[in-house]
């Protein structure tokens, strides 16, 4: 399925872009595609381990990424930990 990965805050800086198109059927597949595409960006790879993710505006929470199914036109937002509150 085609969709978009959108990066926020430090993830945006680490990725060197605000968003990119990705082909994947699960959140795990989308994250694997991002890791492959950005293998030369160690800071992004590190951040992905601690980020939260929204799928079409909804938190994915503690669900296993392989169990989070994506449908056509999906958007995954990559949210690094934020300071403050």
Domains of the chain plus CATH, in order, are 26-85 (3.10.20.30)
Q: Residue 85 pLDDT more than 90?
A: no
Structure confidence at residue 82 as a pLDDT band (50, 70, 90): confident
When the pLDDT of each residue in the chain is averaged and rounded to a whole number, the result is 95
CA distances from 27 to 3, 23, 31, 69 (A): 11, 10, 6, 7
pLDDT at 30 over 70: yes
Joined together, the tokens standing for residue 72 give: 């056509």
pLDDT at position 72: 86
pLDDT at 41: 98
| DSSP H or E run through 12 | helix 9-15
**Residue 83 above 70 pLDDT?**
no
Paired strand residues for 83? none
Give the pLDDT mean for 46-61: 96
């Amino acid at each position: 399925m085609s969709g978009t990965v959108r990066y926020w805050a430090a993830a945006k800086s680490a990725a060197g872009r605000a968003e990119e198109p990705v082909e994947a059927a699960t959140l795990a597949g989308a994250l694997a595609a991002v890791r492959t595409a950005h293998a030369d960006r160690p800071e992004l790879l590190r951040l992905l381990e601690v980020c939260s993710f929204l799928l079409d505006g909804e938190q994915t929470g503690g669900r296993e990424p392989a169990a989070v199914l994506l449908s056509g036109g999906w958007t995954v937002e990559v949210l690094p930990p934020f300071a403050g509150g």
